[in-house]
């Protein structure tokens, strides 16, 4: 059985993330979508909330399991879960360069784990959580970018912050 880890901050999970998770589930026997921490980001939602959004969005994919490991190194989690691959989603050339750097570091730390880059669907290639949060903050329609539970939570959070 070939297992993959699809790590991310998922603040919140987008339809682009869902697209990549579905593609990974077609390739690998088991895919762990793992909510982690990027120390250069500040988060709107807790790790538990982010994991709940991901679980809801991915609930119909039987070989995908959502976990949260916000305080751990990605390759360490991959080893713990028996994953031989780390899946990363790529939207554009900027993502590619960034992911190439991360893959290089990960491969130096854990040469037995390889990074697999999967492209988002073209209609999601411009979508970033930060842009969606910005649009939601000013009342923009974000319905086509997020799964339902994440959309509702983000909309509610933005309403609450304006009251």
Supply the residues annotated as catalytic: 17, 41, 91, 129
At 73, the pLDDT band (50, 70, 90 cuts) reads very high
Global pTM value: 0.93
Burial of 20 (0-12, 13-18, 19+ CB in 10 A): buried
159 pLDDT more than 80: no
At 130, the pLDDT band (50, 70, 90 cuts) reads confident
162 pLDDT more than 80: no
pLDDT at residue 161 in the model: 65
Beta bridge partners of 84: none
At 163, the pLDDT band (50, 70, 90 cuts) reads low
> Which helix (DSSP H) or strand (DSSP E) does residue 107 occupy?
helix 93-109
Query: What mean pLDDT comes out for the span 105-128?
Result: 92
- 3-125, CATH topology level: Rossmann fold (3.40.50)
160 pLDDT more than 80: no
């Amino acid at each position: 059985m070939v297992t993959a880890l699809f790590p991310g901050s998922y603040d919140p999970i987008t339809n682009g993330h869902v697209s990549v998770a579905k593609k990974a589930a077609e390739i690998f026997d088991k895919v762990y979508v793992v909510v982690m921490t990027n120390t250069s980001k500040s988060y709107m939602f807790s790790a538990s909330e982010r994991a709940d959004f991901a679980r809801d969005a991915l609930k119909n994919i039987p070989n995908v399991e959502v976990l949260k490991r916000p305080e751990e190194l990605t390759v360490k989690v991959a080893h713990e879960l028996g994953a031989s691959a780390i899946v990363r989603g790529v939207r554009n050339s900027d993502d590619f360069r960034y992911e190439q750097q991360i893959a290089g570091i990960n491969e130096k730390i854990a040469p037995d784990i390889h990074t697999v880059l999967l492209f988002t669907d073209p209609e999601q290639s411009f979508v970033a959580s930060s842009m969606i949060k910005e649009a939601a903050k000013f009342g923009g329609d974000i319905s086509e970018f997020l799964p339902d539970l994440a959309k509702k939570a983000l909309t509610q959070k933005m309403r609450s912050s304006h009251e």
